[in-house]
Structures are given as C-alpha cells and as structure tokens.
Amino acid sequence: MPLLCLILAGGKSTRMGEDKALLFDSVNALTAILASRDCRVIVACGGKERAALFHAECWFDPDDSTTLGEVVHAFVQQHDEEIQLFPCDMYNLNNEAIEVILAQPPGVPVDMNGQDQYTLTRIPQGCDLPISKSLKHLFSQLDRNQMGSLGGRLENFNSPNQIEHRNKSNQ
C-alpha cells in the first residue's frame, strides 16, 4: 500500500496576507513530487470551494473543526493507515529533504533549532490520537526524529519578508 501523504493547504494566513497554498504553486508541485514517488496524495484544502485549485484528491475540513489539530484528528480517524503530513508553506523543501522526510519513522521531526515541526509529522497506522485543538498536544506521545541536518529546508514561511528574502537569494 502506498504511503498516504496529506498536504495541509486549507488555512488562512493573516500574517502572510495571501493564500500560502497558492504561492509558488507549492501544493501542486509537491503533489507531483510525491506522486512520482508512488505516494497517495490528499490535499486538506479547507472548503469545497478550494478543491479546483489543486491537482489531487481533496479532503474538506469537518464543519465543526476550528483548528488544524481538530482537522488532522478528524482525518486520522477516517484513514486507518500510516500518514505523512506536509505543510503547504515550506517553500525550501527540496528533493533531498522530501526523501529524508519520506524515510522517517513515525514521529515528529525536530529541526536544526530544536523545534518540533508538527506539520511534517509521520502518524503511525492505527494511531489513537487524543482529541486536541493543538498539534503540540495531538502529537505529544509520538517519538521525535532529529532532522537538523536538513537545515533551513524545514522553515515555515509566515511573513512577506521571508518570501522577499527567499526571492532575493534565488536570483
């Protein structure tokens, strides 16, 4: 059975000021990379009105969910298989980083700064996660996977300044 990869692309970004899922066509690019590695890809896209934006099967937030923790919990309850999360806003992920993430055992990656990267968590099959609004609490019982060697490739982008800096360094 192929690994189920869930791309998190349904949130609104007030700090960024625009839809992070649409920047750099990151969701569709990541979908293509994961599909080429024989992964089953689903995009947690928020509402039904967003489904046409993505080139993958879409999953819609439950009506009663208000946080990402609740959305992920509901998804895990509906899918009894190992699940690899990917955020839509790690624009520095490259093929090497994706390979390392896909090879990790179940657990939460820890970046070079010692920060848990919850949106890259590998959720084991049959995992009974606690009901929680926060990803920190949702994944509190999972192992931690040291991925400091990936450096800044595990950076979430949350402000226009980060995009500006990325664009300048790519020139």
| pLDDT at residue 15 in the model | 58
| pLDDT at residue 165 in the model | 59
| pLDDT at residue 157 in the model | 60
Helix, strand, coil abundance in the chain, percent, nearest 5: 35, 20, 45
C-beta separation of 13 from 158 below 8 A: yes
Which helix (H) or strand (E) element contains residue 121?
Answer: none
* Across 14-34, average pLDDT: 77
Domain boundaries, the chain: 4-169
Structure tokens at 83: 């699940």
* Beta strands 40-46; 57-60: pairing state: parallel
| pLDDT at residue 92 in the model | 86
Topology adopted by domain 4-169: Spore Coat Polysaccharide Biosynthesis Protein SpsA; Chain A (3.90.550)
Burial of 53 (0-12, 13-18, 19+ CB in 10 A): middle
| pLDDT at residue 68 in the model | 92
C-beta separation of 152 from 89 below 8 A: no
* Across 15-38, average pLDDT: 81
